[in-house]
Amino acid sequence: MPYSYNDRPRGYGSGQSRSSHGRPSGDRRQGTAHVRDAQRRESRTPYRSNRNYRTISGHDAGLNVPNNSRIGFDRSNFKGSRRRGNLLSRLGLSNRGLAVLLVGLVLLILLIFGISSCVTSCNNSGKQTKSAQKEVNSYDGRVAAGVSESLTKQFTPVLDQNKKLSWIAAHADEYADARLCELALREEDAIDFVAGLPKAKATAKKYGDGNEKGSYPLLYDWDTRWGYVKYAGSVMGVTGSGPTSLSMAYMGLTGKTDQTPNALAELSTEGKYTDKGSGTKKEFFTKVGAQVGLSVKEYTSSADNLSIVLSNGVAIVQLNANFTTPYAHWALVIKTNDDGSVTMYDPDSTSASGHTWAAGTIAKNASTLLSVTAAASSDDSSSR
């Protein structure tokens, strides 16, 4: 039991002398001093217990807690936090400093990502700019890129004169066949047809006009009633001279209008009479002509033969390239005039159709001469 001051004798007992009881003996004084020293040490040293939970000051809280139990926190986590704190102390960082460092790292990552994205975007923009620069027509920026130098130079002088021509020039790359752009430049009456092609339907419309026998209608390939129909690798607007020429001959010789240019073009396609050169082979006229009640024969092209053919009917001729147009095509010669000249209906040229010609000029510039007449009926044969 610990020694207490209350246990000290307060007086002298009987029989005790001052020398023996009034002053503690040497052994007793030493024991008392030892106890007091122990008490002082105990008061300064926190209480250690494996069973009771201690307060931060070291005093017993009066709770019996098993070893390794948790009250409000995990001792291992607390130790880990102290280790991290020690590590931060060694690095000279506080919790606030660590937070600032982490924010800085995040900002640095975002900055690097932003710079990388900017570089990629700039590179792509540069490529697009270079690509756009390559797509500009180097001869005239008003003309679509990819258009030939020759066609561009044809466009340049007229771009300020006609808005539709300017539009066609700017969208020239939308036309699969360059002959369409050339047609617009060559034929003023064909400008609307060419401008409407990109959005037009490739279908034919009703003919709608009447015709008398002996009267030959002047028809052009770019007529919107059939000009957008696909034919011979392009559209009839630039390849349909063969069917259009035969249609004019048919209507004049028979007075009927059922065999329109698009109807005959369909027969040509079915019979495989199309040609990439002039658009139509000469066999088309003999074969399909017979199907629609016409008689077609071939002659050597000469002025005399042309005059003979015109005395009995009409002539279809294949004109050479660079005569009335840059390309070989077919045309119809309908009659000999009083002055010996001949009248030609050229479905590819308004200017060629607008004046008379010398028979020799046409014969000289034609590679093929065909006579076209109405086939004799059974009644005509019996009357003869």
Mean per-residue pLDDT for 278-300?
A: 98
Q: Which of 75-84, 228-237, 300-309 has the lowest mean pLDDT?
A: 75-84
> Would you place residue 132 in the very low, low, confident or very high pLDDT band (cuts 50, 70, 90)?
very low
Q: What is the pLDDT of residue 292?
A: 98
- Flag whether pLDDT at 89 surpasses 90: no
Per residue in 311-345, pLDDT (tens digit) is: 999 999 999 999 999 999 999 999 999 999 999 99
Q: Is the torsion defined by CA of 298, 302, 308, 309 positive or negative?
A: positive
Q: Quick one: pLDDT band at residue 22, thresholds 50, 70, 90? A: very low
Give me the pLDDT at residue 238, please. Answer: 98
Domains of the chain: 5-66 (no CATH), 110-202 (no CATH), 205-375 (3.90.70.10)
When comparing pLDDT for 5 and 324, which is higher?
324
Q: What is the pLDDT of residue 105?
A: 82
For the segment 184-201, the average pLDDT, to the nearest whole number, is: 97
Average of per-residue pLDDT values in the chain? 82
pLDDT bucket at 225, cuts 50 / 70 / 90:
very high
